[in-house]
């Protein structure tokens, strides 16, 4: 069983995920030029993590169903013994692992740059946001069967967070690291539910 999912992981990394991982690495590598990563106070550090680093959730999670857009590949996959729910979950875990590694790396860079930061607290808060963005994108993709819609709806939530703010989004405000940390638990739960619902919905539609 473990060998089967390890094979799925290798195939996903070799043929699909590496492209999105590369985009995320390049995006984060540009952060010193975009926002700076040295001598930041707490507000500036959280801005880097919440409005920049967390974008990798959209890039990594939304394309979880992308390989099935190839109808010939889908016809081959669906006759195999492996349940597609397990395939989707494996891909999701890959995205989650990469997100955690890149987030931890970003926090380490901030810490090395003498930025004011609480590593554990900021890691959890950023990952909650990543999962919220990614989960919403997965659900949107599953509902519309359209990758672009998944990206756009996730970005719409991002823009709503910036424009509407905490006053209107309340506990679903994505940038509440310093305003109301409880929002992180709410968006984490919402993100997990969206992911689960999206995977089940996409599997049933197929």
The distance from CA 114 to its chain's CA centroid, rounded to whole angstroms, is 27
- Give me the residues of the chain with pLDDT under 50, please: 72-73, 75-76, 79
Note the pLDDT of residue 168: 94
Residues 134-144: tens digit of each pLDDT: 999 999 999 99
DSSP category for residue 81: S
Report the pLDDT value the prediction gives residue 76, as an integer from 0 to 100: 47
pLDDT at 78: 53
Tell me: the pLDDT tens digits for 76-107? 455 455 577 888 898 999 999 999 999 999 99
Instruction: Confirm if 5 and 90 have CB atoms less than 8 A apart.
Output: yes
CA distance 142 to 96: 18
Looking at residue 111, its pLDDT comes to: 96
- Please tell me the predicted confidence (pLDDT) of residue 1: 57
């Amino acid at each position: 069983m473990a060998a089967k999912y390890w094979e799925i992981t290798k195939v996903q990394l070799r043929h699909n995920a590496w492209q999105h991982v590369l985009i995320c690495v390049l995006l984060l590598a540009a952060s010193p030029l975009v926002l700076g990563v040295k001598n930041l106070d707490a507000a500036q550090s959280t801005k880097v993590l919440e409005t920049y680093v967390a974008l990798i959730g959209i890039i990594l999670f939304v394309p979880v169903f992308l390989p099935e857009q190839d109808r010939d590949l889908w016809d081959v996959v669906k006759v195999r013994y492996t349940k597609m729910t397990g395939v989707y979950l494996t891909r999701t875990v890959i995205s989650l692992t990469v997100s955690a590694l890149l987030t931890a790396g970003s926090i380490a860079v901030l810490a090395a740059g003498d930025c004011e930061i609480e590593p554990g607290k900021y890691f959890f808060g950023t990952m909650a946001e990543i999962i919220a963005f990614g989960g919403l994108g997965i659900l949107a993709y599953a509902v519309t069967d359209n990758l672009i819609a998944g990206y756009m709806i996730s970005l719409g939530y991002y823009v709503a967070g910036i424009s509407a703010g905490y006053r209107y989004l309340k506990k679903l405000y994505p940038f509440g690291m310093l305003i109301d940390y409880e929002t992180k638990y709410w968006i984490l739960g919402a993100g997990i539910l969206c992911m689960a619902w999206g995977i089940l919905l996409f599997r049933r539609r197929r």
